[in-house]
Amino acid sequence: MEAWVRLWLERAFYKFVCALLALQVRKPKIRPKTLLLIRLDALGDYVLFRNFLRPIREAYKDYEITFLCNSANLEIINAYDLDCVDELYPLKVPTWRSLKSLHCFSSLYHFLYSLYKLRQKGYEICISPVFTRRVFKEDLMMRAVHATHKIGSYGEMLSRCWHEVRPALSHHDKAYTSLLDASPSVLFEFERNREFCATLLNKNLDSVRLHMELPHSPPPPIKAPYGVFFIGSQVLTKQLDATTWIALAKGISSNFSLLLCGSSGEVKRAQEITQGVEGLINLVGQTSLCDLLHLLKGASFIVSHETAIPHFCMALGCKAVFVVCNGTYFGRFAPYPSTYTNYHAIYHPRVCELLACVHGIGRCMEIYAHKSIDLQIPHPDLPRLILQKMAEVNGEWIKDPTPIKL
């Protein structure tokens, strides 16, 4: 769906729901010492935020904290973060990608019903830490919730108006009682979350680091050493085509077992890959997310697209993570800062050409801000670039650093 169509739908939906909300006359009583924390974005974004739940819990230790979260993130929240909140309120967030399907309209119905239920309670404080606020998600939630204090980030759009003394607020900006300052510079997302929480809590949070501790459990039933190819992504343009994975697998040393991992949506692609390469262990669609984390932790290396998995790998402290990037959100989600020495970015050749130019990083941000390179379209040099990067880190992982053609 074109970006302008999606934007129009989001704004129309926002206005429609606001009109419905205006029909309610009686407001619920504000309950003292209650806090509603809103975080509805995707799993990768949540991984880069979750380490700040603890400082928020400590700062509001006398408050009853309700966490309004994306239902897609429930497995991780239930397994690792329940002790930081008092109540979970999972919400199935609708998307506009499948507008013609009945599933989309069902999601919209449940979304509206959840809004109605949420509106029955009053909170003393409501916080939305998201930098890129969506009109029909975070802003709409703030409009719907009854709270004395509604705190959010200045956000991506208002931060661009840094040259204005008092930027003009739009209708959805006015849903907040306080908007915290945000740096207009491009920041790595973990640092962006640190900036917001440090301002919110008026506290230095430099000691907070990206990490994740796995509970003790039996080792994975896979004999080491092994590497992991994670082939999945919710965004189709971030997925490498099967022939690229096949060429890449053929370049890996036979001393390492290779695991294919992904969600049930990538089963067909996994079958294409296993038909092209013998000896792959196909676990696509067969592991829970928590089981997958244990497999990632024990891997010698991981190759993935720019999706949630590299963020998990970095939090887990995995040995080596190779991430194929198509230029989207450059500097914000990829690449990681140089202090993360186990993160290795591989850029599509077209991105490499731009980076080699004067002001290359800025040009990448501008060109690929809204339309990225489609990694599903094979490029003959991409497997070679990945293998060369792996050889630079550890030559034992690959058979031969010479170019491999599709």
Q: Which residue has the higher pLDDT, 400 or 52?
A: 52
pLDDT band at 313 (very low <50, low <70, confident <90, very high): very high
197, two tokens = 């929480």
Asked if residues 164 and 151 have their Cβ atoms less than 8 Å apart, the reply is: no
pLDDT of residue 301: 98
Q: Show the domains of the chain with their CATH numbers.
A: 3-201 (3.40.50.2000), 226-397 (3.40.50.2000)
Which one, of 340, 67, 74, lies nearest residue 211 by Cα?
340
pLDDT of residue 403: 47
Residue 62 has φ and ψ, to the nearest 5°, of: -90, 0
Residue range 239-243: average pLDDT?
90
Q: 3-state DSSP: the chain helix, strand, coil percent, rounded to 5? A: 40, 15, 40
Handedness of CA 68, 72, 75, 81 (dihedral sign): negative
Q: Looking at 101-115, 170-184, 189-203, which range is the least confident one?
A: 101-115
pLDDT band at 24 (very low <50, low <70, confident <90, very high): low
Q: Which residue has the tokens 């989207």?
A: 328
pLDDT of residue 6: 62
Instruction: Give helix then strand counts, H and E, for the chain.
Output: 15, 12
pLDDT of residue 219: 64
334, two tokens = 């990829």
pLDDT of residue 162: 47
**Which range has highest mean pLDDT (15-19, 177-181, 325-329)?**
177-181
Residue range 204-211: average pLDDT?
97
pLDDT of residue 328: 78
Q: CA–CA separation, 401 vs 392, rounded Å?
A: 9
Q: Looking at 108-112, 150-154, 161-165, 385-389, which range is the least confident one?
A: 161-165
166, two tokens = 């008092």
Q: Looking at 240-244, 310-314, 349-353, which range is the least confident one?
A: 349-353
- pLDDT, tens digit (0-9, with 9 covering 90-100), for 184-201: 888 999 999 999 999 999
Is residue 104 packed enough to be buried (19+ CB in 10 Å), middle (13-18) or exposed (0-12)?
A: middle
The CA dihedral of 259, 387, 317, 374, to the nearest 10 degrees, is -80
Residue 344: pLDDT over 80: yes
How many C-beta atoms lie closer than 10 Å to residue 225's C-beta?
15
Residue 406: pLDDT over 60: no
pLDDT of residue 299: 95
Q: Looking at 124-128, 295-299, 379-383, 393-397, which range is the least confident one?
A: 379-383
Q: Give 360-365 contacts, CB < 8 A, sequence gap 24+.
A: 361/330, 361/331, 364/327, 364/330, 365/186, 365/330, 365/331
DSSP 262: -
DSSP 204: -
- pLDDT, tens digit (0-9, with 9 covering 90-100), for 226-237: 999 999 887 777
- pLDDT, tens digit (0-9, with 9 covering 90-100), for 66-104: 999 999 999 999 999 999 999 999 988 766 554 445 456
Q: What is the pTM of this model?
A: 0.89
Residue 129: pLDDT over 60: yes
Asked if residues 260 and 231 have their Cβ atoms less than 8 Å apart, the reply is: yes
Which one, of 232, 193, 200, lies nearest residue 315 by Cα?
193
Q: In what order do the strands lie in the sheet with 343-347?
A: 281-282, 257-261, 226-230, 301-305, 321-325, 343-347
Q: Looking at 56-65, 95-104, 244-253, 370-379, which range is the least confident one?
A: 95-104
Residue 143: pLDDT over 70: yes
105, two tokens = 């309209």
**C-alpha 208, offset from chain centre:** 19
pLDDT band at 26 (very low <50, low <70, confident <90, very high): confident
